[in-house]
């Protein structure tokens, strides 16, 4: 089934503006993410930390999801204890 719709001049202008702004925002996000990745890497090297752990801490802090993470680890711990695979 083919998409068959015509857009008037105003709609075309709005779509063009939306796509242009979306591309600009995406470019800016990529640039910011790259800068953050470089910063995390440099700081982690200085402090002898694993970047993956620091990046996870950043994601959890950003989402304010520490309780969710704790719940996941509680479930994981229960499973490992059940099968006798804990320290």
pLDDT, tens only, 56-86: 999 888 887 778 778 888 888 888 889 988 7
Q: Are 50 and 44 in contact (CB under 8 A)?
A: yes
- Angle between helix axes 51-63 and 66-82 (nearest 10 degrees) is 120
Spatial CB neighbours of 59, under 8 Å, sequence gap ≥ 6: 65
* 38 band by pLDDT with thresholds 50, 70 and 90: very high
Q: Quick one: pLDDT at residue 77?
A: 87
* 21 band by pLDDT with thresholds 50, 70 and 90: very high
């Amino acid at each position: 089934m083919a998409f068959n719709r015509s857009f008037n001049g105003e709609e075309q202008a709005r779509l063009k503006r939306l796509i242009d702004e979306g591309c600009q925002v995406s470019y800016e996000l990529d640039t910011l993410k790259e800068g953050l990745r470089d910063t995390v890497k440099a700081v982690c090297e200085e402090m002898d930390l694993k970047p993956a752990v620091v990046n996870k801490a950043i994601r959890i802090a950003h989402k304010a999801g520490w309780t969710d993470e704790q719940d996941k680890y509680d479930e994981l711990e229960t499973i490992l204890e059940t099968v006798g695979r804990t320290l």
